[in-house]
Amino acid sequence: MSIYYLNSPLKNEDIENINIGDSVYISGPVFTCRSRLHKYIFDEGNKLPFSTKNRNSLIHVGPIVIKENGKWKLVSFMPTSSIRFEKWGEKSVKEWNLKLIVGKTTMGKKTADAMKKFKCIHVSPQSVSPNLWIDTITIEDVYLFNELGTIEAAWQMKLDKLGPFVVDIDSKGNNLFDALDKKIEENKIEAYKKMGIPQDFEYTKLY
Amino acid sequence: MIQREVYRKVIFDTIKRGSTVISKDVKRIFEESIKKETSVAAKEGLQKTLQSIEMSVEKNNPACPDTGWPIFYFKVGNNCNLEGGFMGLEEAARESVREATRLGLLRATMKHPLTGHDPGDNIGVNIPDFTYKFVPGEDIEITFVAKGGGSECFGGTRHRMIAFADGTIGIKKFITDCYIASTRAGAVCPPSILGVGIGGTANVAANLAKEAACLRAVGSKHPDPMIHKIEAEIYESLNNLGIGTMGSGGDVSVFAVNIEYAYTHIAGIAVATSTNCMVARRATNKIKNSGEIELLESPNWFEGR
C-alpha cells in the first residue's frame, strides 16, 4: 500500500501506477457533480458550462454552502455515493476526460471498464470526517446554482491535500470491493451455521 | 398550557442538537469500537469520524452534511395542552426546519421526487414527517432525527413477507442478507445501527424498524428475552463478517441490532429492516406543562412499548 499526493489537473502517468488499496491526497482544481447535473448534461443535451481540461478531477458531493457577508462559506463536505451515477459513469469519464473521481461507495463494471480504457481512478473515503477536510477546500465558483439548487449545482473548488481516500478502482479496472465481497460471502457461511440457517434454505414463495 | 414561543424554541434547539451533537450512547459505542478494532484502516476511520463529530460541537456545523430527511417524533401526554394545538406544533416544526436550513445546520436536501425541484428549505409535501405516540400525563417529548440518505437508500431499508412456515430461520436469513447487501462498499456508512420490525402490516413493520434504528439507545435490550436472544445472535454474527468501517474490512461491522415486533396475521410475516448511519443523529427534549425544559439522552420511545 502506497500513499500518493496528486495534483489536479492529472496526466495518465500520474495515476497509471496507482493500485487498489493505495491512499491518495488531492490538490488543485476540481468540480462537483450529483444526479441533477449528470441528467442535465447527459440526458437533457446541455453542455457543461466550463472546460474540464485543467480541472479533470470530479467529486461526487453535495456540500453545505451558505453565503456569509456576500461570500460563499463551505459549512460541511462529505462525498456522496457514486454508485447512483453508474448510468452516466462511462460518459462522464469519456466526455469530461476525467482522471480521478472521488465518491463514497464505488462504481460498476461499465465505469470500471471505461476507467481502464481512458485511464482514470475512483477513490472512496474510509471515514465520515467533514471537519478534517473542510479547511483543505476553497470554493472558487459555482455554475447552474439557480437551475439546480445549492447541493446539485456544479461547484468549482481548489483543494490542498484533501484526503486520505482509498483507491477502490484503479486504471487497470480492478475493484477493491470485489475481493472484500468474496471474503464476506465466505464468512457468511459460518454466520449461517451459527444461526442455524441451512446453506440451501429457500423461502416459501408467497408471490 | 405550553406556550407557542416555548415549543418553537425547543423544536429549533432539538434540530440543532440533533444535527451537531451525537448522543452519549453513540459516542460510547464509537469509543468501545475504536478499542476493539484490530484493522488499522478501520480503526483510523472510526477515530477520524469521532474526531470530526466532536469538532462539529465547537464549529456548530452538522456532524454529517447529509442531514437527510427531517423527521419528528412527538411523545405526547394525553392531557398535554399546547397553545395553537398540534397544527401549531407542526407549523413551528416547519418554521424551525426552514430556519435551521438557512443557517446551514441542515442541508437543503429535500426535493420534488420527479422533477427534482428544490424548495431550498427542506419543506415540501409530507415533509417534514411527523409521528405521534400518546402516553399518560401532560408533558411532550420532542425528538428530531436526521435520517441520512446513505442509510435509508442503499438497501438499508427493505421489507419482505415471510411465510410462517419459514419462521425465525427465514427472518434471520433475510436480516443478515439485507445487512450484507446494504453495507457493500460502505453504502450505508457502517458500522450502522440496524433496526428490525417484525409483524403488523408492511408499513407497521417498516415503521418499527425505523424507530428501532433511530430511537432506541445503542446498547439497549428488548425486554422480551426471546426477542433479545435474536438481537444478540444477529449482532454477533454480523460482527464476524469482516465488513468494517465504511465497508472496507474490519472487525466492527454493526453498532447495534434492535428488534421490535407487532402481533400479526400469520398469512405472511412482514419483516422490515432499517439502518441508521454510524453518525447516528437524534436529539430529544421534554417540555413539561409548567414550561420547564429537560434535555433527554434517549427518546425512550419504546418505554412501555
Q: Is there a contact between B173 and A196 if contact means CB atoms under 8 Å apart?
A: no
Q: Starting from the edge strand earliest in sequence, which strands make up the sheet with B69-77, in order?
A: B129-135, B69-77, B140-147, B282-287, B293-296
Residue in A64, A76, A206 closest to B163 by CB: A206
In a domain, B44, yes or no: no
Q: Is there a contact between B185 and A168 if contact means CB atoms under 8 Å apart?
A: yes
Say yes or no: B12 and B144 in one domain.
yes
Q: Residue A92, Cβ neighbours under 10 Å: how many?
A: 25
Q: Residue A3, Cβ neighbours under 10 Å: how many?
A: 10
In a domain, B50, yes or no: no
Q: Is there a contact between B248 and A197 if contact means CB atoms under 8 Å apart?
A: no
- The mean per-residue pLDDT over the stretch A147-172 comes to 97
In a domain, B206, yes or no: yes
In a domain, B119, yes or no: yes
In a domain, B47, yes or no: no
For residue B90, what is the domain's CATH number? 3.30.360
**What's the pLDDT at B304?**
77
A151: which chain B residues are within 8 Å (Cβ-Cβ)? 107-109, 118
Interface residue B227 vs chain A (CB under 8 A): no
| Biggest CA-to-CA distance, chain A | 64
Interface residue B169 vs chain A (CB under 8 A): yes
Tell me the domains of chain A and their CATH numbers.
3-176 (3.20.130.10)
Q: Is there a contact between A127 and B248 if contact means CB atoms under 8 Å apart?
A: no
B149: which chain A residues are within 8 Å (Cβ-Cβ)? 80-81
Residue B74: give the domain boundaries: 4-21+63-148+281-296
Q: Is B137 left (phi over 0), alpha (psi -120 to 50) or beta?
A: left
Say yes or no: B143 and B192 in one domain.
no
Say yes or no: B129 and B253 in one domain.
no
- What are A32-46's pLDDT values in tens digits? 999 999 999 999 999
**What's the pLDDT at A112?**
98
Distance from CA of B53 to the nearest CA of A (A): 7
Say yes or no: B141 and B9 in one domain.
yes
Say yes or no: B271 and B161 in one domain.
yes
Smallest CA-to-CA distance from A86 within A147, A42, A127, A126 is with: A42
Which of B161, B173, B253, B276 to probe by mutation at the A interface, max A CB count within 10 Å?
B173
Catalytic residues of A: 38
Lowest mean pLDDT among A68-72, A170-174, B142-146: A68-72
Say yes or no: B285 and B136 in one domain.
yes
The amino acid occupying position B47 is: Q
Say yes or no: B205 and B262 in one domain.
yes
Number of domains into which chain B is organized = 2
Alpha helices (runs of H) in chain B, residue ranges in sequence order: 4-20, 24-36, 40-59, 85-102, 149-153, 167-183, 202-215, 225-238
Q: Is B238 left (phi over 0), alpha (psi -120 to 50) or beta?
A: alpha
**What's the pLDDT at B305?**
72
What percentage of chain A has pLDDT greater than the value 90? 97
C-alpha cell at A64: 453545505
- What are A78-130's pLDDT values in tens digits? 999 999 999 999 999 999 999 999 999 999 999 999 999 999 999 999 999 99
C-alpha cell at B131: 409521528
**What's the pLDDT at B154?**
86
In a domain, B39, yes or no: no
Say yes or no: B107 and B253 in one domain.
no
- The mean per-residue pLDDT over the stretch A152-179 comes to 97
Per the prediction, chain A carries an average pLDDT of 97
In a domain, B54, yes or no: no
Please tell me the distance from the alpha carbon of residue B286 to that of residue B299, in angstroms, as a whole number: 9
Say yes or no: B119 and B218 in one domain.
no
Measured CA to CA in angstroms, residue A25 lies from A181, A195, B22, B43, B47 at distances of 26, 42, 28, 19, 18
Say yes or no: B89 and B156 in one domain.
no
pLDDT mean for each 10 residues of chain B (305 residues): 97 98 97 98 98 96 97 97 98 98 96 93 98 97 96 88 96 97 96 98 97 97 97 98 97 98 95 97 97 96 86
Say yes or no: B197 and B71 in one domain.
no
Interface residue B40 vs chain A (CB under 8 A): no
Say yes or no: B127 and B203 in one domain.
no
Please tell me the distance from the alpha carbon of residue B161 to that of residue B179, in angstroms, as a whole number: 17
Is the Cβ–Cβ distance between A111 and B45 less than 8 Å?
no
Interface residue B22 vs chain A (CB under 8 A): no
Distance from CA of A130 to the nearest CA of B (A): 6
